[in-house]
Amino acid sequence: MFETIDSLKNKLDAQRPLSPSVVKNLQEDLILRWTYHSNAIEGNTLTLLETKVVLEGITVGGKALREHFEAINHRNAIYYVEDIIKKEEPFSEWQIRNIHQLILKNIDDDNAGRYRQQNVLISGATSTPPDYTLLNDKMAHFVDWYNLESNQLHPIERAAKVHANFVGIHPFIDGNGRTSRLLMNLELMKAGYPPCVITVENRLAYYEALDQWMVFGKTEAFNQLVADGVLEGFKPYQVVLGI
């Protein structure tokens, strides 16, 4: 499944380090696409171009303040993920809470970065998240698995499993989807792969693949969806670098 992707990664690695102007150009493109699609999946109604102007500091008339904050917060969470990678910080619950706190800043400050204190349902899913009283143990086991076992997986499989396991725990009252996609891409970027931007047009397949994993333990569809997203993520590099 991963041979083509790893071959492209080797070509990209041969071009590294990239020039600051190329890095800036690719980063701006990535942040816009990732922010737009991740928020749109969760119901944000800003268009791609509206997201672009919001990130440039312009208010869009007729759009809710929350939607503006969702765009700005997501961009800042990406900056934080990039900073984690730059500093080579180890994976931790503290990081996860910080990412979530950025996602909900000025939207729900009472719950930002805090594990939920009630039970929830995942709308449309056939699995039920664990009881809130188990969250501290579940999250500790999640980080322990990562630190002790996850390095045995291919980086794409590891990223997919981080996403799926986190969504299964659903530790926050809101913002779990955005946080899970940031954690998935933190893994991919750490390993030198392009992020997987799951598009809003692919939302149904995304939800179905996740449900297959969580309910039946069938991982193939979601692994393939993430791999396809990474493959798509090489296209901007191919345009800019000709690899």
User: Which residue pairs, CB below 8 angstroms and at least 24 apart, start in 230-233?
Assistant: 230/5, 230/156, 230/188, 230/193, 230/194, 230/195, 230/196, 231/4, 231/5, 231/8, 232/196, 232/197, 233/193, 233/194, 233/195, 233/196, 233/197
Q: Please count the other Cβ atoms lying within 10 Å of the Cβ belonging to residue 58.
A: 11
Please confirm, yes or no, whether 74 is among the known catalytic residues. Answer: no
Amino acid at 60: V
Exposed e or buried b per residue across 215-231, where buried means at least 16 C-beta atoms within 10 angstroms of its C-beta = eeeeeebbbebbbbbbb
Identified catalytic residue from 37, 68, 100, 170: 170
Question: 201: which DSSP letter?
Answer: G
Non-local (6+) Cβ contacts of 234 within 8 A are 5, 8, 12, 194, 243
- Catalytic (active-site) positions: 170
